[in-house]
């Protein structure tokens, strides 16, 4: 199975800060990676697919990059509504696998 290592596990940042979350795959997955946001008590929603494509309706402050084994989700200017846990997911091989999650808190 492909292992996804996500870091950091949590972070605290101020409104307006730039935030970066990283996922590393245990083997190459091309660009078969998505990023998901889960707000407290809610189901996850997709932010990014194919590593760098922005889901329709998602604010442009969210960007994804990377290919192969290294991937990054960047929030260019953190907003209060971005309080959530973020997960990467590889869908290159079955079983699909998630990163461990990054909990983003607002200072």
Partner 1 sequence: QVQLVESGGGLVKPGGYLRLSCAASGFTFSDYYMSWVRQAPGKGLEWVSHISSSGTMYYGDSVRGRFTISRDNGKNSVSLEMHSLRADDTAVYYCVRGTFLTGPDSWGQGTRVTVSS
Residue from 19, 23, 25, 32 touching partner 1 (CB under 8 A): that is: 32
Residue from 5, 53, 77, 79 touching partner 1 (CB under 8 A): that is: 53
Count CB-CB contacts under 10 A for residue 15: 11
Burial pattern 30-66, b for ≥16 Cβ within 10 A else e, equals: ebbbbbbbeeeeeebeebbbebbebbeeeeeebbbeb
* Residue of 1, 58, 8, 10 whose CA lies nearest to 34: 58
Residue from 14, 16, 40, 43 touching partner 1 (CB under 8 A): that is: 43
Give the distance, in angstroms, between the CA of residue 41 and the centroid of all CA atoms in the same chain.
Answer: 18
Question: Under the criterion CB under 8 A, does residue 71 sit at the interface with partner 1?
Answer: no
Q: Which is nearer to partner 1, 45 or 77 (CB)?
A: 45
Residue from 19, 23, 36, 78 touching partner 1 (CB under 8 A): that is: 36
Beta bridge mates, 25:
4
Question: Under the criterion CB under 8 A, does residue 62 sit at the interface with partner 1?
Answer: no
- Residues listed for the chain: 107
Residue from 46, 61, 67, 74 touching partner 1 (CB under 8 A): that is: 46
Question: Under the criterion CB under 8 A, does residue 101 sit at the interface with partner 1?
Answer: yes
Q: Which is nearer to partner 1, 19 or 36 (CB)?
A: 36
């Amino acid at each position: 199975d492909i292992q996804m290592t996500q870091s950091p596990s949590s972070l605290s940042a101020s409104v307006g800060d730039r935030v970066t979350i990283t996922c590393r795959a245990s083997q190459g997955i091309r660009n078969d990676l998505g990023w998901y946001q889960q707000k407290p008590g809610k189901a996850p929603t997709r932010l990014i697919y194919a590593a760098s494509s922005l889901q329709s309706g998602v604010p442009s402050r969210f960007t994804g990059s990377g290919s192969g084994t290294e991937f990054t989700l960047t929030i260019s200017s953190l907003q209060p509504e971005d309080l959530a846990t973020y997960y990467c997911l590889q869908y290159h091989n079955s079983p699909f696998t998630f990163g461990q999650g990054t909990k983003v808190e607002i200072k």
